Amino acid sequence: MQNLLNNITDVMTQATERGRVADYIPQLAHVDPKHFGMAVATPDGQLFTAGDATMPFSIQSISKVFALTLALGKQGDGLWQYVGREPSGDPFNSIVQLEHESGKPRNPFINAGAIAVVDAIMMGHEPKEVLAELLSFVRYLAGDDSLFFDHEVAESELKYKHRNASLAHFMKAFGRLQHDVDKVLGAYFHQCALAMNCVQLARAGLFLVSDGVNQASGSRVVSAQRARRINAMMMMCGHYDGSGEFAYRVGLPGKSGVGGGILAIAPGKASIAVWSPGLDQIGNSLLGTRALEMLVQETGWSVFGH
């Protein structure tokens, strides 16, 4: 595994076509596209790393997996009255389906759906309390108390909020959000601004590898059924309108973020985090996807077979 990661990292470090870094906020636009990191965590506690695996980056939409897990814990199946669970086939920040589907977002991983999930987590609490809960949950999952929200990123998301604010107000107009729009957005922007490195992210995904149990720490996070369902959501919706392509090339439940990170789950085998800031047209990490494709090609870890 270590040799494989070294080989993949060599290939990715030399790649000249690296995609384009997100430029909707300066904090992401200024990240060097040359970074590449990867970490593989296994249920028996092994960890393999290569490249910039310990350098923190903005996990952005990968946080939607953790928020979904928290929301299901609070609302159970009741969550599905606020958000659907079908792939959207549209870009992550699209508003078009919302109008046709009376303000109910297709799934928890597009922005509108993630905003609805934050609203469902709040349950009358202030954003500060919700964020404290989310942070301690992700720290617990990763087994690392040093995780933090990058407040500069959150401030910037707020400054350039217009697209997400439109989605939120549009849902509010349909009576889909229970809480004040600005409070929901404030919490959503901080959630996206979670900074993590590949090692922390791979460890945080371990509960999805082993039927809801983080075997490395011995703690049950969710039921086996819930873990299976979260993996299904990641497979079908985790890469937005690129989810079909990701399933075709990699064949693992995965969640991407515009910071260039991807968390991928090989059930029963490993939790994998990869980071390369350059994105493809859809907003998924270009080399991150290539790296995962190489990994499954060698390991046979795709859920669809060798």
Indicate the residue among 66 and 92 with the shorter CB distance to ligand GLN: 92
Q: Which of 42, 49, 61, 197 binds ligand GLN (CB under 6 A)?
A: 61
Q: Is residue 105 close enough to count as binding ligand GLN by CB under 6 A?
A: no
Residues 138-197 that bind ligand GLN (CB under 6 A): 157, 164, 192
Contact 69, 230 (CB under 8 A): yes
Q: Which two tokens stand for residue 225?
A: 């059924």
Using an 8 Å Cβ cutoff, are 153 and 192 in contact?
yes
Options 111, 231, 271, 285; binder of ligand GLN; rule CB under 6 A = 111
Q: Half-sphere exposure of 126 toward its Cβ, with a 13 Å CA cutoff?
A: 3
Instruction: Determine if 68 is a binding residue for ligand GLN (CB under 6 A).
Output: no
Q: Is 289 in the site for ligand GLN (CB under 6 A)?
A: no
Shorter beta-carbon distance to ligand GLN: residue 67 or 213: 67
Q: Given the complex with ligand GLN, which of 157 and 280 has the nearer CB atom?
A: 157
Determine whether 93 is exposed, middle or buried from the number of CB atoms within 10 Å of its CB (0-12, 13-18, 19+).
middle
* Binding status of residue 241 toward ligand GLN by CB under 6 A: no
Residues tagged active-site: 61, 64, 188, 240, 258
Using rule CB under 6 A, residue 258 touches ligand GLN: yes
Does 60 interact with ligand GLN (rule: CB under 6 A)? Answer: yes
Site for ligand GLN contains 48 (CB under 6 A): no
CA distances from 141 to 126, 128, 147, 238 (A): 23, 20, 11, 19
Contact with ligand GLN (CB under 6 A) among 6, 75, 93, 297: 93
Q: What is the DSSP letter of 65?
A: H
Q: Which residues contact 281 (CB under 8 A, 6 or more apart)?
A: none
**3-state class of 131 per DSSP?**
helix
How far apart, in whole angstroms, are the C-alpha atoms of residue 49 and residue 55?
12
CB of 193 to ligand GLN, least distance (A): 8
Question: HSE (CB half, 13 Å, CA atoms) of 258?
Answer: 23
Nearest to 191 by CA among 24, 73, 84, 61: 61
Residue 61 CB, nearest distance to ligand GLN (Å)?
3
- Under the binding rule (CB under 6 A), the answer on residue 88 touching ligand GLN is no
Which one, 140 or 160, has the nearer CB to ligand GLN? Answer: 160
Query: Interface with ligand GLN by CB under 6 A: which residues?
Result: 60-61, 92-93, 111, 157, 164, 192, 257-258, 283
